[in-house]
Amino acid sequence: MQYFIGLMSGTSLDGIDAVLLYSGTKPSIHAHTHRAFPDALRSALLALNYSGSDELHRAAVAAQELAQHYALAVSDLLQQAQITAAQISAIGCHGQTIRHRPDAGYTVQLVNAALLAELTHICVVCDFRSRDIAAGGEGAPLVPAFHRAAFGDALSTRAIVNIGGIANITTLFPDQNTFGFDCGPGNILMDAWIQSQLGKPYDDQGQWAGQGQCKTELLNQLLTHPFFARNPPKSTGRDLFHLNWLRDYLTGHEAAADVQATLLELTARTISNAIRAHCHGTTAVFLCGGGAHNSALFNRIGELLPEASVASTALLGIAVDHVEAAAFAWLAQRTLRGESGNLAAVTGARGPRILGAIYPA
């Protein structure tokens, strides 16, 4: 039995989720923490999602600051669990995605892994997506294999829906077959819109969306994006869905709360549509990620999927904020064991591959 640490900072740019994973027959979490990004770092990371001057220097500086915050999260975990760095087999660090372009053959998850290994004195595994893309895959989602290990059931078909900045779905069939894909925006557009209109980082419980009305015409226009009609395997990010993309569909006369209500419906509708189209036989849906805290979104997904039960992954033993970080701790373990971490049926790669780059302690 070994300890691994998982570090995840997602598209929502809200900060770092860190977990201490104990690798038994079923992965279990022994400690967890969250470290918010300082506003300046969050702004720097957001700016790096788009072309701009002096990008290489700005990215390198941001990667160093990221490593320092990751290291502080690791220190918090060790203190909480009362164990030493020497007891940790490896850190699985996803890094901060600033570009995801499998169509162009590359993906960039920012982190200075060498510095992280130096600061923590722990082996670091990172850059999980690149090998899958090199093998012809989308490089994402990579969490379905972990979902199978943690949440699989021999009697029923389950859908695990991670609602981060982007939403992705994993279908776990009783026969061990596993299927997964990104289905579209999770929180990314809702967060961007409320930030631009009210200066708030997110819509707590969907309360602001509840003050508006979904505008059917706008919703139908947003749903014409070709990504929604594509068959899996597929993945996406800020390269496709961002505030300027949304504004192209607005007349400027919409009530701001109505736009928020429409964006919530877009997320709920694309998730439910994707489950119906590609996750046949699903009887139970389990939500995780930051979007699982949005009660209005949670309830709307339930309304759109009356044929299935809808609950959070907490019911299966892992809190909604810990699933992705746990997945990268688990993937780091597979890397060190020389075991594949991707699922070709999910990403479209030519076959199973050992993922990640290793930076020894």
Q: What is the CATH number of the domain that holds 187?
A: 3.30.420.40
- Number of folded domains in the chain? 2
Measured CA to CA, the distance from residue 255 to residue 197 in angstroms comes to 11
**Cα–Cα nearest to 109, from 137, 128, 135:** 128
Cα end-to-end span (Å), the chain: 20
pLDDT at 212: 98
37, 195, 298, 33 alpha-carbon torsion, rounded to 10°: 10
Q: Computed from CA positions of residues 20, 24, 27, 29, in that sequence, does the dihedral angle turn out positive or negative?
A: negative
90 and 194 co-located in one domain: no
294 and 251 co-located in one domain: yes
14 and 134 co-located in one domain: yes
Half-sphere exposure of 205 (CA within 13 A, CB side): 2
What would the pLDDT profile of 185-232 be if each residue is shown by its tens digit?
Answer: 999 999 999 999 999 999 999 999 999 999 999 999 999 999 999 999
What would the pLDDT profile of 257-280 be if each residue is shown by its tens digit?
Answer: 999 999 999 999 999 999 999 999
179 and 292 co-located in one domain: yes
332 and 227 co-located in one domain: no
Rg from Cα positions in the chain: 19
pLDDT at 26: 78
SS3 call for 236 = coil
Task: Kindly tell me if the per-residue pLDDT of 25 is higher than 80.
Answer: no
Tokens representing 182?
Answer: 């990104």
Q: What is the pTM of this model?
A: 0.94
309 and 329 co-located in one domain: no
171 and 245 co-located in one domain: yes
312 and 331 co-located in one domain: no
Task: Kindly tell me if the per-residue pLDDT of 55 is higher than 70.
Answer: yes
DSSP labels for 185-242? Answer: ESSHHHHHHHHHHH--SS-GGGHHHHTS---HHHHHHHTT-HHHHSPSS----TTTSS
191 and 247 co-located in one domain: yes
203 and 338 co-located in one domain: no
Range of the domain at 42: 3-140+324-359
